[in-house]
Structure 1
């Protein structure tokens, strides 16, 4: 049991750090006005639509490869030598 005494300082430091962080975080980041929060949410939801852009003229966007997966693992065939 005496060999575990070297853990005591580490445990004390960890517990004090947890209590300190819990004390600092209990007040939160402050109150946000409901109207401001709704406006921010609306902006975030509309942001995806506004950010979509068409490619520049003369630029062809790469087409994604078609996944030909059948769900079955198949080894590539080998040529007989």
Structure 2
């Protein structure tokens, strides 16, 4: 039990820090009236964006089948040279 006494100072510091943060942060947010917040949101939504910043939908991706197909190099279709006996 005595070996755990070295934890006491750090626990006290942690509790004091948590208490101070909860006390210091309680009124620091500055509450905004609900009607004012709704008005600000409405103005922000109605605001026109510059032409270059409009979002477009993501392009449709090709669906992969999971099969890799290697192109034949220099072989004409139908002459059988693309397949080699191994």
Q: TM-score, normalised by structure 2?
A: 0.53
Higher helix share: 1
Q: CA RMSD in A?
A: 3.3
Larger mean CA deviation between 28-37 and 16-25 belongs to: 28-37
User: Matches of residues 1-81 of structure 1 in structure 2 within 5 Å?
Assistant: 1-47=1-47, 50-51=48-49, 53=51, 64=59, 66-69=61-64, 74=66, 76=68
| Number of aligned positions between the proteins | 68
Gaps of at least 5 residues in structure 2 are 70-85
Counterparts of 1:11 and 1:19 in 2: how far apart (Å)?
Answer: 12
Q: CA deviation at 1:16?
A: 0.3
Larger Rg: 2
Q: TM-score, normalised by structure 1?
A: 0.56
Return closer, same or farther for 1:10/1:69 CA change in 2, 3 Å cut-off: farther
